[in-house]
């Protein structure tokens, strides 16, 4: 291959990368424009777990003049990002797939599908399980002389942080499978390091969640359960891969 051909191939890859990035951004923009009319309804839906636990005489407030507009607007933008996640991954797959072998494609397609499902599962888990527990606890422990009036912007930051934390944490089985598949580690090594991983899960949860023990524990425990699930799946894929390699050698 001449230097001119290599240069031409590099340029074509850059052009394809740009086109796929533009498609991903365009998809996010289309979803956002479709949802922006319902921005206030989306915020009301996300705020439901908090509103249900507020005292009868309490309500949410806005401490900034622009917050009633920008808080739902910001949430709608993040909702568009979350909903466009499968399409973005599809564009990533379309860019890297031509450089993969057939067996690598068979391995990565289920991983990509699983990563999407696990990401959405993490968000759903945080909304339907974690939020009611955390918000119910924190709205019930304050002194009776205090009236709880949460700020809409502060609550949005709290919600988005937990959504992101649980969405990423639920990808642990995928990360473990990829690490074992790439040869960077093995399931045996990970099992031997389990005590350190338990400590690391609580430390990581401390950085990903708001500064309270309850949120950290509610994130760390699913992370450890997903770690064990990742070990099981990685062992299954390792056995399957070894069997296929033996069949090819025969």
Nearest to 33 by CA among 84, 68, 76, 88: 76
| Between residues 126 and 207, the one the model is more confident about | 126
* For residue 239, pLDDT beyond 60: no
More confident position, 159 or 96: 159
Q: pLDDT confidence of 247, banded at 50, 70, 90? A: very low
CA distances to 56, 194, 211 from 43, rounded to whole Å, are 20, 40, 23
Model confidence at 249, pLDDT cuts 50, 70, 90, reads very low
Confidence of residue 27 (pLDDT cuts 50, 70, 90): very high
Mean pLDDT of the region 194-217: 82
Considering the entire predicted model, what is its pTM? Answer: 0.81
Question: Is pLDDT above 80 for 218?
Answer: yes
pLDDT at 1: 52
């Amino acid at each position: 291959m001449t230097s001119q051909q290599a240069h031409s191939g590099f340029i074509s890859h850059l052009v394809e990368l740009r086109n796929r990035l533009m498609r991903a951004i365009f998809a996010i923009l289309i979803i956002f424009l479709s949802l922006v009319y319902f921005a206030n309804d989306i915020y009301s839906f996300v705020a439901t777990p908090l509103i249900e636990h507020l005292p009868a005489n309490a309500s949410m407030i806005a401490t900034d003049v622009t917050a009633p507009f920008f808080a739902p607007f910001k949430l709608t933008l993040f909702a568009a990002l979350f909903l466009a996640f499968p399409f973005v991954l599809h564009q990533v797959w379309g860019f890297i797939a031509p450089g993969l072998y057939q067996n690598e494609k068979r391995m990565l397609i289920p991983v990509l599908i699983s990563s999407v499902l696990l990401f959405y599962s993490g968000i759903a888990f945080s909304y339907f399980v974690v939020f009611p527990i955390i918000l119910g606890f924190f709205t019930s422990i304050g002194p009776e002389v205090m009236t709880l009036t949460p700020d809409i912007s502060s609550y949005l930051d709290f919600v988005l942080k937990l959504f992101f934390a649980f969405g990423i944490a639920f990808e642990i089985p995928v990360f473990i499978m990829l690490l074992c598949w790439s040869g960077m580690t093995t399931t045996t090594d990970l099992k031997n390091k389990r005590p350190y991983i338990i400590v690391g899960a609580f430390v990581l949860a401390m950085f990903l969640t708001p500064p309270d023990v309850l949120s950290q524990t509610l994130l760390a425990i699913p992370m450890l359960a997903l770690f064990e699930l990742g070990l099981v799946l990685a062992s299954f894929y390792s056995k399957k891969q070894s069997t296929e390699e033996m069949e090819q050698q025969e």
